[in-house]
């Protein structure tokens, strides 16, 4: 039966705090992902894109195996299949975005990929019967406009690069929705390990087939730093947090929060790379922050109204 994007009808005293903690955690990793943009951009000048993805996810998968070694005995076929689907969606999102960057300006690819904030509520309504609340839809609209102000310098057409970026947005949307569904069913550690392992295998196969090399002959400090930061912080920590915390919020709110990734990439580009921000980009950043606040206000009133209706069991 279709429902608004809500959680369990039984209101617990800590349900609101748990949701807001989840949102704050997702915001934290969105900032981390955005901060790695310049680092990755510099690293792939020395190594093919799929080779870089292979090394990044190889490091992450190795660490996850060490962390989850004692839990591996609890693996089952359903978990392997679900984790494999997550990993497949993640790989397709990364690979299509990479192909888009080969054929279109980075600013345009960033904007088109960010359109997952529009696709997530649509897909959620059709496939998992979760309709976004009015507050969430207002947040979607604000974040969409904010993304455009931050990233677009020209016009978006129908070039090959923009089509790849559009596919990336679709796969990002699918990954967010699958995470919402599967994270409620499986162990966070094992599910994260399986999806990262699947992404590593797929990246490795594509790199072996199409890249001139996967392992570089010269390991420059810049490349080693990029692999370490993206493999440990952006992948192990980032996807642990997403897989573990997204089940306490809604897919649409998660997509709105993840719009902070391009915002943070702009600001880190300024502080690390000396890239200047325009007044338009500042306005776009403010709109995305406003989108998150709008979605959070909606959650506050939803939780408050339910607490008044059902009573507070902890009070």
Which is higher by pLDDT, 251 or 295? 251
Domain total of the chain: 1
Rounded Cα–Cα distance for residues 69 and 214 (Å): 27
- Residues 80-104: pLDDT tens digits? 999 999 999 999 998 888 788 777 7
Q: What is the pLDDT of residue 274?
A: 62
What band does 312 get if pLDDT is binned at 50, 70 and 90? very low
**Which token pair is 117?**
């904030």
Q: Which residue has the higher pLDDT, 111 or 137?
A: 137
In contact, 38 and 269? CB cutoff 8 Å: yes
| CB-based contact 180:132 (threshold 8 Å) | no
pLDDT value for 246: 87
Question: What is the domain range of residue 224?
Answer: 12-131+156-250
CA neighbor of 136 nearest in space, from 308, 307, 310, 302: 302
Residue 285 located in a structural domain:
no
Answer yes or no: is 279 within a domain.
no
pLDDT, tens digit (0-9, with 9 covering 90-100), for 63-73: 999 999 999 98
**Helix %, strand %, coil % for the chain, to 5?**
80, 0, 20
Q: Quote the CA–CA distance of 128 and 1 in Å, as a whole number.
A: 10
Predicted TM-score (pTM) of this structure: 0.79
39 in a domain, yes or no? Answer: yes
Judged by DSSP in three states, 4 sits in: strand
Binned at pLDDT 50, 70 and 90, residue 57 comes out as very high
The string of pLDDT tens digits covering residues 130-182 is 777 787 788 778 877 877 777 666 555 567 877 888 899 899 999 999 998 99
Residue 14: predicted pLDDT = 58
Cβ neighbours around 119 below 10 Å, total? 20
In a domain, residue 262? The reply is no
Q: Which residues pair with 4 in a beta bridge?
A: 131
| Cβ proximity of 110 and 258 under 8 Å | no
Confidence band of 115 (pLDDT split at 50, 70, 90): confident
pLDDT of amino acid 143: 79
User: Rounded to the nearest 10 degrees, what angle do helices 49-67 and 221-228 cross at?
Assistant: 50
pLDDT score for 15: 59
| Percent of the chain predicted with pLDDT > 70 | 81
23-41 pLDDT, tens digit each? 889 989 988 887 777 777 7
CA distance 216 to 55: 10
Rounded Cα gap, residues 37 and 41, in angstroms: 6
Q: Is residue 301 part of a domain?
A: no
Q: What is the mean pLDDT of residues 110-137?
A: 78
Is 307 part of a structural domain of the chain? no
């Amino acid at each position: 039966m279709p429902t608004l994007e809500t959680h369990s009808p039984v209101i617990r005293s800590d349900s609101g705090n748990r949701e807001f903690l989840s949102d704050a955690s997702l915001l934290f990793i969105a900032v981390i992902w955005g901060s790695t943009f310049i680092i990755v951009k510099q690293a792939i000048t020395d190594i093919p894109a799929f080779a870089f993805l292979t090394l990044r996810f190889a490091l992450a998968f190795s660490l996850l195996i060490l962390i989850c070694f004692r839990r591996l005995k609890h693996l089952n076929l359903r978990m392997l299949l679900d984790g494999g689907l997550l990993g497949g969606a993640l790989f397709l999102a990364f690979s299509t975005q990479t192909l888009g960057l080969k054929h279109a300006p980075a600013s345009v690819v960033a904007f088109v990929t960010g359109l997952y904030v529009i696709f997530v509520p649509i897909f959620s309504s059709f496939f998992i019967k979760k309709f976004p609340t009015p507050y969430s839809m207002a947040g979607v609209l604000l974040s969409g406009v904010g993304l455009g102000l931050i990233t677009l310098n020209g016009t978006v057409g129908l070039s090959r690069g923009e089509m790849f970026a559009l596919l990336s947005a679709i796969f990002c949307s699918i990954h967010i929705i699958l995470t919402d569904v599967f994270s409620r069913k499986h162990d966070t550690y094992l599910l994260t390990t399986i999806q990262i392992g699947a992404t590593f295998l797929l990246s490795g196969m594509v790199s072996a087939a199409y890249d001139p090399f996967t392992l570089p002959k010269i390991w420059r400090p810049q490349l080693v730093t990029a692999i370490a930061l993206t493999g440990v912080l952006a992948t192990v920590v980032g996807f642990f947090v997403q897989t573990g915390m997204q089940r306490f919020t809604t897919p649409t709110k998660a997509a709105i929060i993840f719009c902070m990734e391009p915002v943070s990439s702009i600001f880190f580009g300024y502080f690390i790379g000396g890239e200047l921000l325009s007044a338009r980009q500042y306005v776009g950043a403010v709109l995305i922050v406003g989108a998150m606040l709008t979605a959070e206000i909606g959650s506050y009133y939803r939780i408050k109204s339910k607490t008044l209706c059902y009573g507070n069991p902890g009070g």
